[in-house]
């Protein structure tokens, strides 16, 4: 028979038994449920746009096991780039991730903007977010004259968007492959500029307008424009034409230019009464050598109506007579050796300008 003392359990031993029992119960019950880490990745593409341009913020959202969280709801908010850290995020928009956990937002800001994509915590998933910035450049459009004359004043005009009521625009010129400052222009309250500029030489100017970065925008540049400042000449032949012919009817002279420079002038015979040599702008559309007969050594046709041409002659003495020399059916007759010289230099497409 057991005594009372043999079945009595001291308090410390009882406490140890209770702890062991709780540990065993916890082991069999398993760990408590915990939220799963969420991965949200995204990009802003392109990272910079010119005003009026748009970009896409796109990415994917997955759980800890890498499985896509299809159906997850995501929100996009924004605030001006460089705002204080405690500045409010505004204008929320939402979207739902697709079957592969993919999502996208399209944005079109007028100023540089910070964006945040957020996923709110749910049962079993942690919250996640992505922060990115879209830089916006101003849109600068220009209206530069393409073919002014040396010695005159040129007006360089342009517009900056969105509206800037003040600021400075730098006009740059490309020299030896690098852009160099040429002059500056002030913006008016309507975001426009108009600068009077006097070129210091004739020739080719590749120009553009540049605006430095400000609080709302990155630096921006316009498309470049080619401004050809023409060398003055007697017949205002633009520098841009590699070949150009001028026939002055009352002088009975033909002038040949290359890039605005007079190369040679020739005496010619022109159309007789009833067959006046036409006035206006034309171009050489066909060449023929030899031509023969009254056309002489060769012919260059420039006016479709009537087949008017610049050609040689089989009556050289007519070219040597004093003016007026009205002997042709509207063509310009030249001495054969001279027309052959011209024929060798003038391609099809050459501009012909007939003046009074």
Q: Give the CATH number, domain containing residue 326.
A: 2.40.440.10
169 and 204 belong to one structural domain: yes
49 and 101 belong to one structural domain: yes
At residue 33, the pLDDT reads 44
In the predicted structure, residue 21 carries a pLDDT above the cut 50:
no
145 and 74 belong to one structural domain: no
Share of the chain above pLDDT 90, in %: 86
More confident residue, 122 or 306: 122
> Has residue 27 been placed in a domain?
no
Residue-number span of the structural domain to which 289 is assigned:
244-355
In the predicted structure, residue 198 carries a pLDDT above the cut 90:
yes
> Has residue 301 been placed in a domain?
yes
123 and 148 belong to one structural domain: no
> Has residue 159 been placed in a domain?
yes
pLDDT tens digits for range 277-296:
999 999 999 999 999 999 99
> Has residue 26 been placed in a domain?
no
pTM of structure: 0.78
At residue 47, the pLDDT reads 98
> Has residue 239 been placed in a domain?
no
75 and 127 belong to one structural domain: yes
220 and 159 belong to one structural domain: yes
60 and 87 belong to one structural domain: yes
Q: SS3 string of the chain?
A: CCCHHHCCCCHHHHHHHHHHHHHHHHHHHCCCCCCECCEEEEEEECCEEECCCCEEEEEEEECCCCCECCCCEEEEEEEECCCCCCCCCEEEEEEECCCCCEEEEEECCCCCEEEEEEECCECCECCEEEEEEEEEECEEEEECCCCCECCCCEEEEEEEECCCCCCEEEEEEEECCEEEEEEEEECCCCCEEEEEECCCCCEEEEEEEEECCCCCCCCEECCCEEEEEECCCCCCCCCCCCCEEEEECCCCEEEEEECCEEEEEEECEEECCCCCCCCEEEECCEEECCCCHHHCCCEEEEECCCCEEEECCCCHHHHCCCCCCEEECCCEECCHHHHHHHHHHCCCCCEEEEEC
Domain boundary at 136, 152, 184, which?
136
User: What's the number of domains the chain is made of?
Assistant: 3
In the predicted structure, residue 174 carries a pLDDT above the cut 90:
yes
In the predicted structure, residue 38 carries a pLDDT above the cut 60:
yes
């Amino acid at each position: 028979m057991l005594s009372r003392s043999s079945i009595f359990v001291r308090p410390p031993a009882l406490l140890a038994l209770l702890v062991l029992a709780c540990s065993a119960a916890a082991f069999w019950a398993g760990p408590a449920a915990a939220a799963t880490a969420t991965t949200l990745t995204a990009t802003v593409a392109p990272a910079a746009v010119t005003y009026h341009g748009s970009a896409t913020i796109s990415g994917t959202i997955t759980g800890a096991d890498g499985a896509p969280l299809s159906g997850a709801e995501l929100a996009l908010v924004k605030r001006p780039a460089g705002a204080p850290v405690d500045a409010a995020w505004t204008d929320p928009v939402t979207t739902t991730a697709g079957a592969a956990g993919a999502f996208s937002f399209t944005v079109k800001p007028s100023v540089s903007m910070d964006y945040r994509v957020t996923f709110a915590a749910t049962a079993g998933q942690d919250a996640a977010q992505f922060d990115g910035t879209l830089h916006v450049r101003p849109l600068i459009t220009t209206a530069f004259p393409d073919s002014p004359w040396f010695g005159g004043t040129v007006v360089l005009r342009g517009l900056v968007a969105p509206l800037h009521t003040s600021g400075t625009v730098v006009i740059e010129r490309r020299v030896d492959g690098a852009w160099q400052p040429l002059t500056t222009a002030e913006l008016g309250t309507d975001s426009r500029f108009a600068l009077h500029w006097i070129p210091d030489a004739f020739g080719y100017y590749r120009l553009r307008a540049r605006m430095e970065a400000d609080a709302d925008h990155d630096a921006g540049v316009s498309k470049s424009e080619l401004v050809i400042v023409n060398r003055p000449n007697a017949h205002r032949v633009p520098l841009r034409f590699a070949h150009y012919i001028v026939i002055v009817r009352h002088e009975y002279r033909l002038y040949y230019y290359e890039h605005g420079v007079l190369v040679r002038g020739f005496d010619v015979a022109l159309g007789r009464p009833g067959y006046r040599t036409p006035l206006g702008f034309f171009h050489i559309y066909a060449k023929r050598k030899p031509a023969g007969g009254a056309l002489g050594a060769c012919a260059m046709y420039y006016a479709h109506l009537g087949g008017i041409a610049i050609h040689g002659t089989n009556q050289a003495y007519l070219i040597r007579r004093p003016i007026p020399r009205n002997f042709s059916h509207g063509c310009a007759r030249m001495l054969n050796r001279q027309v052959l010289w011209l024929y060798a230099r003038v391609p099809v497409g050459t501009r012909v300008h007939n003046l009074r």
